[in-house]
């Protein structure tokens, strides 16, 4: 667990942000018919689980939930020496679904591009929306989130650390200056 840095969101703050995002997803889609959540490993998948729980509490409907690993879709295998590979698990058909992609931090947008490529290989969703807990700026691609927990303009050398506990529940968000 990170000890240094500035606290941006505490546990209650993260919970409030997710509750608000859950309401926004329901409102934007006029309910949750044909809506599914897909979390991006790792971090986004844990938040997607919580969002699904929030949506179930509000609407009393369990939305389909999947996770996607984008390592194989990254465009920087050479420069970064590879990233850990996880499993992609989407136990439902993506065809004609409104997919809400969930990630913890939105930065350059390259992860989201990779996730969209990965989703398109698995099916043909009707729409893809993007939900992030923190939007820290510095986009390198024309990608904009639909649902944001917190907009946080950062310096390029700063780091956002979303801290999870042992049960993969978010504890807090910290801004770390290097």
Partner 1 sequence: MAFNHKHILGTEYLSREDIQLILDTAESFREINTRSIKKVPTLRGKTIINAFFENSTRTRLSFEIAGKRLSADTVNISGSTSSVTKGETLEDTARNIEAMHPDIIVIRHGHSGAPHYLAERLHCSVINAGDGAHEHPSQALLDMLTMRQHKGEIDGLKVAIVGDIAHSRVVRSNLYALNKMGADVHLAGPGTMMPSGIERLGATVHYDIRAAIKDADVVMMLRIQLERQGLTLLPTLREYARFFGLNDDVLKLAKADAIVMHPGPMNRGVEISSAVADGPQNVILGQVENGVAVRMALLYLVSGGEQAVE
Cis ω before 42 (30° cut-off from 0) = yes
Smallest distance from partner 1 to CB 88, Å: 6
CA torsion through residues 149, 38, 69, 3, sign: positive
d(CA 13, CA 44): 17
Three-state secondary structure of 20-39: HHHHHHHHHCCCCCCEEEEE
Backbone φ and ψ of 8, nearest 5°:
-100, -50
What is the x/- site pattern for partner 1, positions 85-104, by CB under 8 A?
A: xxxxx---------------
Residues 19-78 that bind partner 1 (CB under 8 A): 69, 71-74, 77-78
Residue with smaller CB distance to partner 1, 30 or 87: 87
Token pair belonging to 30: 């006029």
Nearer to partner 1, 81 or 153 (CB): 81
Q: Which stretch binds partner 1 (CB under 8 A): 14-22, 113-121, 130-138, 148-156?
A: 113-121
CB of 11 to partner 1, least distance (A): 24
* Size of residue set near partner 1 by CB under 8 A: 20
> Is position 141 an interface residue for partner 1 (rule: CB under 8 A)?
no
Cβ–Cβ under 8 Å, residues 28 and 127? no
Residues interacting with partner 1, by CB under 8 A?
69, 71-74, 77-78, 81-89, 117-118, 121-122
């Amino acid at each position: 667990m990170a000890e240094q840095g500035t606290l941006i969101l505490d546990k209650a703050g993260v919970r409030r942000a997710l509750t608000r995002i859950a309401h926004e997803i329901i409102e934007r889609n006029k309910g949750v018919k044909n809506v599914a959540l897909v979390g991006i490993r790792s971090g986004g998948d844990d938040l997607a689980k919580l969002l699904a729980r929030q949506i179930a509490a509000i609407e009393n409907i369990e939305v389909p939930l999947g996770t996607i690993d984008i390592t194989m879709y990254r465009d920087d295998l050479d420069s970064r020496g590879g990233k850990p590979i996880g499993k992609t698990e989407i136990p439902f058909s993506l065809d004609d679904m409104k997919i809400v992609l969930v990630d913890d931090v939105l930065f350059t947008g390259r992860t989201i591009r990779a996730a969209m490529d990965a989703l398109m290989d698995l099916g043909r969703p009707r729409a893809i929306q993007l939900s992030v807990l923190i939007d820290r700026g510095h986009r390198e691609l024309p990608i904009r989130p639909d649902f944001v927990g917190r907009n946080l303009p950062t310096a390029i050398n700063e780091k956002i650390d979303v801290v999870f506990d042992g049960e993969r529940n978010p504890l807090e968000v910290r801004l770390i200056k290097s």
